[in-house]
Structure 1
Amino acid sequence: MLRKALVLSVLLVTVAAGPAAAATAADGGPVESHGGDATTCEFPYATTDATGTEVEVPEDPQRVVTLNPSAAQTMWEIGARDEVVGVSRYATYLDGANEKANVSGANGPSVEVVLNAEPDLVLVPNSTYGFAAERVEQIRDAGIPVYVFGEATSLSFVAEKTERIGRLTGNCEAGVERADEMRRSLDLMRQALDGEERPVGLNVFYGYTSGADTFIGDVMETAGLRNGAAEVGISGFQPINDETVANMSPTWIVTPEGSSIPRNAAYNSTTAVQEGNVVRVNTNYLQQPAPRSVLAAETILEAIHPDAYAEYRDLEASEESTIADTPMTVTPTGTTVETERPGTETGTPGFGVVTAAAALAAAALLARRR
């Protein structure tokens, strides 16, 4: 389906926790102060990132390095991939990413490779700053604007992050358009689910789960599940023991592609395993707080509430038909870009080899969430 838009192994503890944000807004996102008109994308532009550092972007960036796959995915989704000159190894699944510099090094970003890419702006995940703050500061000390994102706690946060990336990179209209598109899809899902019974779901990967205040938990709830981990008091990305799983007895299990469900008495006793109610979701969509997380919610919705999913598609088609009948406003240059909904045929995720050790695998998956 076509969507219309205008000119549009990391340490587990530090990955899960991220840095403490020195300045936060009511939604948990960073507080921003603006230099220049945000609506017209003027530069210089000043803002405060999740570390409390004031970041000034003097000119519209033409060379952007993304140290996290979610920022890279967002740049692709707002039609700005040509501005990206460096990506992390976890972003190599994106079309054309292999043509960019791979800025990942041993145990974190390679400062040398980042600087050699001559970026005008570097976008940094909270996880990378959590365990490689010294390297990030080296990049800052070289006079390059660096923006560190906070921890994504909801799909609303993801939409706002999409707008923020658009503003930072001089793609304001495209960022707002893509964020609003996300919000419309989420609203239509909720509308289609009105009155539906919500079964208990559990997100699990290598013994870990997504509890309260996680965007994956919000993906599940948006798709018509109750987040069982949140209901038993788990917050953030945490280990989950067999006793909790058995007592919860989730009706559905949501897991990224490539991960396995434990074969033991606790899991075998659950309704989910006994009835084969396991939803495997494209890792690149489920694990990354970026626009394609909507596709993860759609996958879950279709598996669990097929009738509501059909209604959602009808609502979406009706809305798009209305939009198609409305004259389109063009940009001053008269340019419009039509982007196609990404498919799921991405093959093996480009996140490197998943190791046999469960802790390392879990750390890698948590790293993909940035």
Structure 2
Amino acid sequence: MNRQLVVALLAFATVLAGVPAPAAAAVDQTAQQQTTQCTFPMTVTDATGTEVTITDDPERVVTTNPSAAQTMWELGARDEVVGVSQYAMYLDGASEKGNVSGSGGLNVEAVIGLEPDLVLVPNSSYNAEPDRIGQLRSADISVVVFESGESLGAVANKTERIGRMTGNCEAGVERAGEMRDSMAHMEQALDGVERPVGLNSFFGYTSGSETFISDLMTTAGLRNGAAEANLTGFAPINEELVVEMNPEYIVVPDHAPVPSSPAYNSTTAIQEDNVIVIEAHKLQQPAPRAIEASEEILEVVHPDAYERYQQLENESATESTEDATETTTATDATETDAAGSTATTESSESTTESDAPGFGVVAGLAAIGAVVLLARRR
């Protein structure tokens, strides 16, 4: 018995001594998993100061605004959504969901009839109809109201938070991380580049400071003329100011007309046909696809910087793939060594089965995820 015990201990020590790096990677991987695991019940404080307790992982989610719906789609969680607003119908499969829009706004009865576990309410929905949101809360439905998305960083934070509240923690962390990485890569690609003046225009309004549209424009290498003119939020803009700022680029959503008047026609943007038309669901919804609006602006305004940005994105995705592959290879080696040690004693068999195979599965999934990331970000 003593000889068997010594042999078992030596075999176990050999495994530990021979593969220290994979063991460390396994520990790091476990720690990362723990930070991306959702735990219920969960209590959150929303934008209204209301404490909301989500008792279980929600299986039925209603979104009252297209930005919340888009976020759920981007998290790969559209199957959990049972209700959307009419302006979210552009999303693939949204027409199969319940429509919670009514003639005067949110249809409270329709929402209640869908028996949701959780209702996601962007700030714009709450500001438009707080009484109706109150009715949902009176019906004992968990309702979370979000803050205004005043920057791309805030949109990334909201994406991560929605992932956590809907049981999609890992997807939320991943998608938010993609946004933050892209923002950092744009900043790096634009280092030292001169930034022209841009103006967002839609039906006589513009996006001033403290708006995510202003941030996505400046992230893409434009100066926001409206913000520099001390306009805040979404505000009307007069033609005298348009002439004064003389934007070199005008950014419009695809559902709005290109502004046309003597004032606008005198600008460099119109005279040089520097009008950037972007799909509204990217430009005007504070959701993950907003980063794509920045990419489109960057490509038009700073083509050289855009090429550098694409290179940084590709390098980042490649590094992620290689890191995941190296972890998988190292873990497979650990499993091979562990499998060899199982032939020595039953004691070492128990140890290796409880540790090495589990890390191998996680590392394999990480590698697959990195490859999918590379394809999706293009």
Matched residue type, 1:58: T
Which position in structure 1 is the counterpart of 2:235?
A: 238
State the distance in 2 between where 1:164 and 1:182 align: 14
In the alignment, structure 1 residue 153 sits paired with structure 2 residue 150: yes
Which position in structure 1 is the counterpart of 2:53?
A: 56
State the distance in 1 between where 2:51 and 2:103 align: 28
State the distance in 2 between where 1:215 and 1:203 align: 12
Query: For 1:201, what is the secondary structure of its paired residue?
Result: strand
State the distance in 1 between where 2:178 and 2:157 align: 12
Post-superposition Cα deviations, 1:99-151, rounded to whole Å, max 9, x if no partner, equal: 11111111211111111111100001212211211111111111110000111
State the distance in 1 between where 2:161 and 2:259 align: 39
Which position in structure 2 is the counterpart of 1:276?
A: 273
Q: How does 1:201-220 map to 2 (within 5 A)?
A: 201-220=198-217
Partner of residue 263 from structure 1, selected from 241, 260, 264:
260
State the distance in 2 between where 1:258 and 1:40 align: 40
State the distance in 1 between where 2:128 and 2:319 align: 48
Matched residue type, 1:57: I
Which position in structure 2 is the counterpart of 1:113?
A: 110
State the distance in 2 between where 1:38 and 1:46 align: 17
Question: How many pairs does the alignment contain?
Answer: 307
Which position in structure 1 is the counterpart of 2:331?
A: none
Which position in structure 1 is the counterpart of 2:88?
A: 91
How many percent of aligned residue pairs carry the same amino acid?
A: 59
Query: For 1:254, what is the secondary structure of its paired residue?
Result: strand
In the alignment, structure 1 residue 314 sits paired with structure 2 residue 320: no
Contact 2:46–2:144 under 8 Å retained in 1: yes
- Aligned-residue offset at 1:300: 0.3
Partner of residue 182 from structure 2, selected from 181, 185, 201:
185
- Aligned-residue offset at 1:341: 3.7
Query: For 2:206, what is the secondary structure of its paired residue?
Result: strand
Which position in structure 2 is the counterpart of 1:194?
A: 191
Instruction: Specify the structure having the higher radius of gyration (Cα).
Output: 2
Query: For 2:56, what is the secondary structure of its paired residue?
Result: coil
Contact 2:199–2:206 under 8 Å retained in 1: yes
Which position in structure 2 is the counterpart of 1:166?
A: 163
Contact 1:38–1:167 under 8 Å retained in 2: no
- Give the 4+ runs in structure 1 shifted more than 4 A: 328-337
Query: For 1:76, what is the secondary structure of its paired residue?
Result: helix
- Aligned-residue offset at 1:285: 0.4
Query: For 1:95, what is the secondary structure of its paired residue?
Result: coil
- Aligned-residue offset at 1:39: 4.8
Question: What's the TM-score once normalised by structure 2's chain length?
Answer: 0.78
Query: For 1:56, what is the secondary structure of its paired residue?
Result: strand
State the distance in 1 between where 2:86 and 2:278 align: 20
Question: What's the TM-score once normalised by structure 1's chain length?
Answer: 0.80
Considering Cα pairs closer than 8 Å and 6+ residues apart, tell me whether 1 or 2 has the greater RCO: 1
- With over 3 angstroms needed to count, the CA separation of the structure-2 counterparts of 1:53 and 1:140, relative to structure 1, is same
- With over 3 angstroms needed to count, the CA separation of the structure-2 counterparts of 1:98 and 1:342, relative to structure 1, is farther
- Aligned-residue offset at 1:333: 11
Which position in structure 2 is the counterpart of 1:360?
A: none
Contact 1:120–1:145 under 8 Å retained in 2: yes
- Aligned-residue offset at 1:201: 0.4
Contact 2:126–2:133 under 8 Å retained in 1: yes
Quote the RMSD (CA, aligned, Å). Answer: 1.9
Query: For 1:205, what is the secondary structure of its paired residue?
Result: coil
Query: For 1:119, what is the secondary structure of its paired residue?
Result: coil
- Aligned-residue offset at 1:72: 0.7
In the alignment, structure 1 residue 176 sits paired with structure 2 residue 179: no
State the distance in 2 between where 1:171 and 1:263 align: 45
State the distance in 2 between where 1:245 and 1:137 align: 41
State the distance in 2 between where 1:88 and 1:301 align: 31
